[in-house]
Structure 1
Amino acid sequence: MLYQLRILTTGGSKVRIDRSNLHFAPAVMARLVRISAVGILQFFVSTASFLFLAKIMARFGDAALAGHTLSVRLITFVLLPVWGVGNAAATLVGQNLGAGSPERAERSVWITGFVNMCILGTVALVFIFIPEVIVAAFPVTEEVADIASACLRIMAYSYVFWAYGMTTVMAFNGAGDTTTPTWINFFVYWVLQIPLAWFLGVTLEHGPQGVFATVAICQTVLAVVGVVWFRRGKWKTRAV
C-alpha cells in the first residue's frame, strides 16, 4: 500500500494524485464501508465452511486429514492465477459500468471466464491423469499420498465449472453487488455442502471420497447459479 501511494504521489505512473485531489466525503466512505462489510462476510461464509469440512474429514483418521490438507494446499496454489484473472474481471466490470458500457462489462466477464476455464482445464487434465506424480514430490506416507491423489482427481472434474463460478462471483463484487455472491456462498457452502458432505462421507460411508465429491458437486452448482444470476443482468444497474 505504501509503495502504491508513493508511485501515485511522485508521478511514477500515468495517474498522479496530490493534495488537491483529496476530499473528505463521508457519504461515499459510508457506502464503501457498507459494501466492504458484506464482502468480508462473503469471505467468512466460504472460508468457515471449509473448517467444518476439515472437521468431517478428521473423522476418517489422521491420514485422511493429512491427505486432504496436502491436496487443498496444491489446489490453492493452482487457483492463484485464476484468482488474479477473476480480480481482473471485477476491475473490468467496475471500469466499464463506470464508463456507461454494461454490455462491454458483461463481455469482459465471459472472456476472463474463458481464460480461467483454459487455465483450470489444463490443470484438470494433469490432476485427472497423473495426480500421483504431483503428490510424489512430497514426503508423505503411501496412504496419505493415495488420499491426496484421489482428492486432486475427483475435484478436477469440476474445474471447468469452478473457473466460471469464481469469475462470476468476483464480477458481482466488481459491480458493487457484494450481497448476491454472499447469499450464493451461503446457499452452496452451508445449506448444500456441509449436509451433503456428511451424508456422502459419513452416512453412506464413502469416507474422504464422499467429501471430495461433495466439493466438486457444490462448485458445479455454484457455477450454474452464478452464471444464471449473472445473466439476469440486475448487476448492470448497480451504482457504487
Structure 2
Amino acid sequence: MDGALLGLLLLLVAPIFASGHMMPKLSLPTLSELLGPGTVYPWRLEYCSLSPEEQAKMKSLHGLNHVLMEGVDVKDPMTMESVPFDGLTMGEVLFRGKTVTKGYYKNPDKTEAALKGGWFHTGDIAVRHPDGNIEVKDRKLDLIISGHKKISVDVEAVLFSHPAVFEAGVVGRPNEVVGETVCAFVMLKQGCNASPEKIIKFCGESCPNIWCQKLWLLLPV
C-alpha cells in the first residue's frame, strides 16, 4: 500500500487508537515530517481510578509504535544503540517507515543528517519505560550542557514545586569554563514573596542533582 494512503488511513483511525486519551505530544517539527501520529497510547479503564497526579503522569507518556509505523525507537544518536527500558537512560526518538518524510526539498545536507542510519532523527530526547512506553523529556536543542547534560524541563519542574512560584522558564547561559550555566526566570504568585537566593536554595534541597546558578524574578505586567 502507498505510504500516503497509509498515512491518510491512520489519520482516520487515530481517534479510535487514542480511545479518549489525548494524542501523544510530539514536537511541531516532528509532526511536519510524519504523515499522521508516530505513536499511539490507548487510555485504559483502570487509569480512571488513579489520582489526578497519577493520571497526569500516565498522560505524559507518548506511547508505542502502531501497525502503520515500521519502527519507533529511542537510541543513542552517536552509537545508534537502543537505550535500556529503565525510564532513566536518555536517547533520541527515531522513526522509520512509509509515513516518514524522504527528505528535505533541495537540502541534501539536512536530509543526510536527519536520516542518518536509515532512521528519521526527531530531535526529541526521551526515555523508554519498562513497559516499552516512550516519555519525551525535552528537545535536543534545549539541552543545557554544563559539565554534563541537564534537562531544562526537569529544572523547571523543581521550580514549579516551590509554593511561591507561578511561572518559570530555564535557559542555558554561555560559560567559558563549563560550557553553559543553568539560569532561571521566575514569576511569583500574587501576594507571595521569595528571594532568588531562597528559591535557588530550595532547588538544591529538593533535588541535589537539579541546581541553577542564577535566577531572575520577573514582575507581572
TM over 0.5, yes or no?
no
* Class of the TM-score when normalised by the shorter of the 2 chains: under 0.3
Higher strand share: 2
Higher helix share: 1
**TM-score in terms of structure 2 length:** 0.27
**Which protein, 1 or 2, shows the higher relative CO under an 8 Å CA cutoff with sep ≥ 6?**
1
